[in-house]
């Protein structure tokens, strides 16, 4: 029923807020075994630095496990949703991997197979057992799965497996809880941390339900927020209506694996969702930084926020920079608008858009076209003749003196980004020039071309300007193409690609924000805005 009577709404909220918790562990032996073997296998793959080769295999297992623990679906239904074929590469990977990797994988595969043999999902069984004990099974029941956001495809499943006598039920997404609607029973599968962030307590901001049920497997954590205003109310004008605010927002039944005294979160903590996987995210970040440290000792260091994304990924974003955010039409599951927003405004359940594949050839082609339009074809030919002059001279210098000597001399000339990877890029025709003018001047000095420095600098500046303009045009075209586009794949899989066509070669991928740490860390600038996979 829609709530129109504020007094009734807040009285219901007060009653729900004062009820105690009943703790009942949901045991899942085969899942526990899989978790242990998966952690051991992941650690070994990271230690041996072969994560990239094994990523498709691990991602398949991680996604299936994630959906198993956050939805009531059985294994064969989940595989249809994941739709990842990782099996083809396994024989080759095993044959080329060390014996300890092969041994751990066999154990992992065995435990994964055993999990598939489970006839039912223990979370679902626990829920059905509790539902059967309700005194009023005719109440309005809402089911929410954190792991799967697609609603229409799940009605048939719930209709088949729900106990008889529950005619009034809804299958909802987390964002549906923003609506002011009261259910008799709200059943939530999976972790609650991702929904607990200032102004985003969708589950708990009352009125939502008279009875709240949380079902958790071993592993994910659950926490309860301090209530808004009074008894969970977010409406400040009613803040004093019921007297003194309650200290804890409790629920009728909590089926999970943590005790009641762990159920409180500081309302000032913005780390929802991120903190759920804090160790794994930070471990992956440290690995990235360690890999960079040997080749980027002079990289620019900037403060960054750590953001947990859907699709088992995280990303580092500039703490003082901006991100691209998609506004969603939640009724039609389409893109309503694309905006640029400050990183400090990111919240859980936002949808962010990141570049994940270049389209560099198209940018270069369009950039050359813009150059010709601005300066004429003959002048552009002179530009690239100048480019060839210093690049050929630099290649000859490297071939004559060797890479180690060249890097040493570049540093003596003042380059702070001289390293083998960059030197090879600078010699390439696809690369315009060194990323800093000081390094470019050092290259020209080694090649005895410093007297023509102004000419080369001018050519590079013009080429870069047109490449930048070309990239901006393609991005605007892609953004325009997004408006009105269906986001069903994003809701189903947790990520969705756009672009990658002949007309729009650059690819951008949309992700849900599942958590953000507001405490910034110092990272090399080149690590920003690159969504990176990690295990959950």
Give domain status of residue 488, yes or no. no
**What does the pLDDT read at residue 248?**
29
Give domain status of residue 499, yes or no. no
- Averaged pLDDT for residues 98-120: 82
Do 141 and 86 lie in one domain? The reply is: no
Do 198 and 263 lie in one domain? The reply is: yes
Give domain status of residue 500, yes or no. no
The token duo for 64 is 């299936």
- Between residues 99 and 382, which one has the greater pLDDT? 382
CA-closest candidate to residue 213, choices 190, 184, 185, 178: 185
Do 321 and 430 lie in one domain? The reply is: no
**End position of a domain, from candidates 93, 116, 139:** 116
Give domain status of residue 392, yes or no. yes
**CA angle, 96 as apex, 79 and 534 as ends, to 5°?**
45
Q: Residue 200 in contact with residue 272, Cβ under 8 Å?
A: yes
pLDDT digits (tens, 9 = 90+) for 268-284: 333 444 444 555 556 66
Do 196 and 289 lie in one domain? The reply is: no
Do 128 and 176 lie in one domain? The reply is: yes
**What does the pLDDT read at residue 289?**
60
Do 49 and 165 lie in one domain? The reply is: no
pLDDT digits (tens, 9 = 90+) for 210-219: 666 666 555 5
Task: State how far the Cα of 245 lies from the Cα of 232, in Å rounded to an integer.
Answer: 9
pLDDT digits (tens, 9 = 90+) for 321-343: 888 889 887 777 888 888 888 88
388 pLDDT more than 90: yes
Do 86 and 185 lie in one domain? The reply is: no
The percent of residues in the chain predicted with pLDDT above 90, rounded, is 14
- What sign for the dihedral angle of Cα 531, 534, 535, 536? negative
Which of the four pLDDT bands, split at 50, 70 and 90, describes residue 451? very high
Give bridge partners of residue 499 from the DSSP assignment. Answer: 507
Give domain status of residue 477, yes or no. no
Which of the four pLDDT bands, split at 50, 70 and 90, describes residue 231? very low
- Averaged pLDDT for residues 482-489: 86
Residue 230's domain comprises 6-26+121-273
Task: State how far the Cα of 48 lies from the Cα of 197, in Å rounded to an integer.
Answer: 37
Do 36 and 106 lie in one domain? The reply is: yes
CA-closest candidate to residue 473, choices 372, 369, 376: 369
CA-closest candidate to residue 71, choices 167, 164, 187: 187
pLDDT digits (tens, 9 = 90+) for 521-533: 888 777 888 888 7
Give domain status of residue 338, yes or no. yes
Structural domain count, the chain: 4
- Averaged pLDDT for residues 387-407: 93
- In this prediction the pTM is 0.44
Do 22 and 39 lie in one domain? The reply is: no
Which of the four pLDDT bands, split at 50, 70 and 90, describes residue 163? low
CA-closest candidate to residue 33, choices 99, 98, 109, 90: 109
**What does the pLDDT read at residue 173?**
67
Q: Residue 20 in contact with residue 251, Cβ under 8 Å?
A: no
Which of the four pLDDT bands, split at 50, 70 and 90, describes residue 89? low
Give domain status of residue 142, yes or no. yes
Which of the four pLDDT bands, split at 50, 70 and 90, describes residue 502? low
Give domain status of residue 497, yes or no. no
CATH number of domain containing 20? 3.40.50
**End position of a domain, from candidates 249, 273, 297:** 273
Do 330 and 220 lie in one domain? The reply is: no
**What does the pLDDT read at residue 185?**
73
Mean pLDDT of the chain: 70
CA-closest candidate to residue 333, choices 512, 136, 197: 512
**What does the pLDDT read at residue 365?**
81
Task: State how far the Cα of 350 lies from the Cα of 342, in Å rounded to an integer.
Answer: 13
Task: State how far the Cα of 119 lies from the Cα of 117, in Å rounded to an integer.
Answer: 6
The token duo for 521 is 């860390």
Do 168 and 20 lie in one domain? The reply is: yes
382 pLDDT more than 90: yes
- Averaged pLDDT for residues 361-383: 88
Do 46 and 194 lie in one domain? The reply is: no
CA-closest candidate to residue 214, choices 262, 163, 153: 262
- Averaged pLDDT for residues 81-85: 52
- Averaged pLDDT for residues 391-404: 93
**What does the pLDDT read at residue 179?**
59
**What does the pLDDT read at residue 426?**
92
pLDDT digits (tens, 9 = 90+) for 11-40: 443 343 333 333 345 677 888 888 888 888
**End position of a domain, from candidates 116, 140, 157:** 116
């Amino acid at each position: 029923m829609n709530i129109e009577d504020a007094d009734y709404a807040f009285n219901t909220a007060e009653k729900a807020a004062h009820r105690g918790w009943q703790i009942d562990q949901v045991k899942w032996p085969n899942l526990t075994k899989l978790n242990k073997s998966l952690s051991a296998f992941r650690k070994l793959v990271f230690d041996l630095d072969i994560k990239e080769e094994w990523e498709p295999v691990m991602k398949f297992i991680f996604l299936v496990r994630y959906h198993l623990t956050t939805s009531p679906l059985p294994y064969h239904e989940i595989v249809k949703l994941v739709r990842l074929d990782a099996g083809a590469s396994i024989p080759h990977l095993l044959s080329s991997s060390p014996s300890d990797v092969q041994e751990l994988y066999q154990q992992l595969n065995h435990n994964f197979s055993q999990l598939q043999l489970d006839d039912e999902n223990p979370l679902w069984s626990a829920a059905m057992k509790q539902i059967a004990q309700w005194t009023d099974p005719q109440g309005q029941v809402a089911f929410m799965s954190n792991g799967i956001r697609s609603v229409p495809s799940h009605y048939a499943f719930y209709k088949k497996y729900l106990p008889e006598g529950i005619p009034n039920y809804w299958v909802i997404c987390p964002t549906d809880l923003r609506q002011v609607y009261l259910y008799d029973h709200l059943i939530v599968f999976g972790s609650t941390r991702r929904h607990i962030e200032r102004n985003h307590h969708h589950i708990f901001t009352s009125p939502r339900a008279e009875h709240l049920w949380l079902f958790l497997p071993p592993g994910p954590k659950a926490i309860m927020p301090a209530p808004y205003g009074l008894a969970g109310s977010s409406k400040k004008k009613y803040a004093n209506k019921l007297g003194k605010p309650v200290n804890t927002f409790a629920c009728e039944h909590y089926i999970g694996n943590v005790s009641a005294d762990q159920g409180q979160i500081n309302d000032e903590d913005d780390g929802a969702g991120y903190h759920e996987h804090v160790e794994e995210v930070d471990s992956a970040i440290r690995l990235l930084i360690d890999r960079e440290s040997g080749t980027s000792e002079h990289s620019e260091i900037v403060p960054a926020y750590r953001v947990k994304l859907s699709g088992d990924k995280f990303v580092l974003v500039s703490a003082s920079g901006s991100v691209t955010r998609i506004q969603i039409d939640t009724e039609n599951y389409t893109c309503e608008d694309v905006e640029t927003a400050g990183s400090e405004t990111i919240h859980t359940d936002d949808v962010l858009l990141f570049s994940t594949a270049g389209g560099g050839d198209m940018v270069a082609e369009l950039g050359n076209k813009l150059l010709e339009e601005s300066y004429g074809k003959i002048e552009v030919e002179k530009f690239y003749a100048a480019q060839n002059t210093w690049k050929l001279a630099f290649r000859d210098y490297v071939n004559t003196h060797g890479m180690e000597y060249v890097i040493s001399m570049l540093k003596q000339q003042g380059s702070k980004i001289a390293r083998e990877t960059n030197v090879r890029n600078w010699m390439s025709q696809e690369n315009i020039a060194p990323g800093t003018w000081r390094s470019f001047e050092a290259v020209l000095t080694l090649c005895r071309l410093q007297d023509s420095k102004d000419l080369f600098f001018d050519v590079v500046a013009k080429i870069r300007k047109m490449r930048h303009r070309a990239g901006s045009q393609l991005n605007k075209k892609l953004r325009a193409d997004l408006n009105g586009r269906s986001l069903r794949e994003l809701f189903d899989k947790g990520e969705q690609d756009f672009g990658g066509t002949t007309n729009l070669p650059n690819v951008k991928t949309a992700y849900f924000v599942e958590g953000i740490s507001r405490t910034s860390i110092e990272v090399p600038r080149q690590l920003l805005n690159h969504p990176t996979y990690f295990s959950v």
